[in-house]
Every structure is written in C-alpha cells, then in structure tokens.
C-alpha cells in the first residue's frame, strides 16, 4: 500500500467531480481502508507518499503480483512515471532482507505501457485491458513473462462510450475463481462482448444463479437490462458473470474468505451480499467516495501478494 499525499487534490481525473475532493475525509477513508486491509491480511508494507506524485496512493497501477512474479509496470500517463521507482525499491529491499523467500522480479520496458488497473486474473486467465493507459506492447510483455508459467494472457479492448471508464477494473473484478462482477451499463455490456470475441467463448444468461444452465446463446438486450443476473461463459470451464447496477461496485477486493465493497449502494450490496452468503464469505463495506472522485476504486489502493517461502 502507499500513503495518501496532500497533493491528492491535484490528482488526474477523467472529469472534474461535481463536489471537490474533501482532503480530510479522504485521509479518514484511506485510514479506514488501511486498517481493514491490515486486519484481513496481517502484514502490510506501506510505501511513503510523494507530494510530487498526486496519484501515488493508487499503487496498483505500478506493481503486479502474480504468484512468485512481481512485475514493475510502466504507467501510461507520463505524469505518473515518477511513482514507479520508490515502489520498485521497496519490493527489491523487501526481498533482499528476506533471502529465503521466492520471488521473480520483472519490469515493463518502453515503448510498452501498462497500468495495473488494467490487469485482472479470473482464476484461469489474465485479462489485460487495452485502454489509454495500457497498450499492446504491455500485453505482449506480460505474455512473455507469464505464459511460460502456464498463465494465459489475453488483451481485451476496453471501450468507453460514456467517458467514465479509466481502466479494465473500472468495469470488472474477480469475486472468486471463474466468477467476475461486471458493471451493468453500456461499457460493461461492450466489455462482455469483447471478452466473448477475444476468449473465443459463447455466453448464456440466467436470472437465477441456481437455475439449470441455459442454451448457449448471445446476450440479449432484455437479459442485459436485469441487474444481478448471471451469465455462463464456457471455454474449458465455466466463467460466471454477475452484472452489478452501480459501476463503482463492480470493483471489489477478494481477500481470503472476505470481500470488500464500496458502501452506500444498496442495490449492488444486495447482489454482492447474496453471492457472499452463497459462498460462505464475509462482506465488508467501506466508504471510499473521496478517492472515487479521482477515478479510484477499491483495488487501486493495494497490491495483494502471496509470498512463497
């Protein structure tokens, strides 16, 4: 994780928020986030803030952790390039001081660009969003690192017709192995179609997670309009998709048997709470509204790592 700088007011934003960021409230929200993550994972490495980097709290964009692989990214926004070196040094020092731990360090090289917010592992495949922040070169370098280890990497174009989507994970996140949440809006539906094409899979829709599997067919406009429905995407195994009415809530953190979601969205909470009840997971809600004003979601503020001994 990384501390929140006072310069956060100057962070990059797709659109100016209707109500400006309340910095004191942002600090309180980030402190609550940090406390909860510490409770759920036990040990947290906190990188100091850099006042010259207003977006540095969004550490996910600078570092990926996949198994024993730690990948230093190359953010697509030039203003964010200075965020990378302190994160890289922190990871290097962490493992230098613990020589018995297993880790493999990699770094994305120019001209490739890659934001961690564009990367999602669904339990079987790594989705990489092609956005203004991540290019095809970033996808290819990830392929070179991970596919020899048996992790398929697929680049998926993320379209943003409404100008509200910064990253892949602004629209989708994994709530479990082979189960993802997707925003129930035009951008989310477009992403499902793009994933269907790129992953060469078919889709079927059920409005009841316990109903028998439907015939494999394209998503219909009528089916798309029903929040909380599930879709089945069949490749070698089934990928379950649940549509979420509030885009911000399509981004959740899954930590062990815990799920963390944005507070204040009752329609989305009913759906996510139902999934947690079904799977025996504990649901936690956090108000991160001030960080959301800078296009930040829950996954943006931390990098979850499983350290192999």
**C-alpha distance from residue 283 to each of 51, 137, 177, 253, 276 (Å):** 34, 37, 17, 10, 7
Catalytic residue selected from 249, 276, 300, 301: 300
Query: How deeply is 95 buried, as exposed, middle or buried, from its count of CB atoms within 10 A (0-12, 13-18, 19+)?
Result: middle
Catalytic residue selected from 30, 53, 56, 167: 167
Contact criterion met (CB below 8 Å) for 37 and 44 = yes
Q: What is the DSSP letter of 57?
A: T
167 is catalytic: yes
Contact criterion met (CB below 8 Å) for 209 and 230 = yes
Q: Is 90 in a helix, a strand, or coil?
A: helix
Strands 258-262 and 253-255: antiparallel
Give catalytic residue positions.
167, 300
């Amino acid at each position: 994780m990384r501390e929140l700088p006072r310069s956060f007011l100057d962070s990059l934003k797709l659109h100016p928020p209707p109500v400006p960021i309340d910095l004191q409230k942002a600090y309180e929200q980030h402190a609550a986030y940090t406390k909860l993550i510490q409770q759920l994972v036990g040990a947290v490495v906190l990188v100091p803030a850099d006042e010259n980097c207003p977006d540095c709290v969004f550490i996910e964009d600078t570092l990926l952790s996949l198994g024993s692989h730690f990948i230093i990214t190359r953010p697509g926004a030039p203003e964010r390039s200075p965020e990378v070196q302190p994160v890289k040094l922190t990871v290097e020092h962490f493992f230098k001081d613990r020589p018995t731990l297993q880790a493999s360090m990699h770094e994305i090289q120019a001209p490739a660009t890659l934001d961690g917010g564009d990367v999602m592992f669904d339990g079987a495949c790594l989705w990489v969003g092609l956005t203004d922040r991540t290019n095809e070169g970033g996808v290819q370098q990830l392929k070179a690192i991970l596919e020899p280890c048996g992790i398929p990497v697929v680049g998926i174009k993320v379209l943003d017709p409404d100008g509200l989507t910064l990253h892949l994970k602004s629209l989708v996140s994994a709530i479990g192995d082979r189960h993802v949440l997707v925003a129930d809006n035009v951008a989310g539906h477009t992403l499902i179609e793009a994933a269907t094409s790129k992953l060469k899979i078919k889709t079927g829709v059920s409005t009841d997670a316990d109903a028998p599997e439907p015939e494999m067919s394209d998503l219909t406009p009528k089916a798309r309009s029903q929040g909380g429905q599930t879709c089945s995407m069949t490749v070698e195994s089934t990928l379950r998709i649940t549509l979420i009415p509030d885009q911000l809530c399509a981004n959740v953190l899954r930590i062990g048997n815990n799920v963390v979601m944005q507070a204040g969205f009752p329609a989305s909470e009913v759906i996510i709470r139902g999934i947690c009840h079904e799977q025996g997971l504990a649901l936690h809600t956090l108000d991160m509204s001030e960080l959301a004003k800078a296009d930040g979601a829950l996954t943006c503020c931390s990098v979850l790592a499983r350290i192999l001994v």
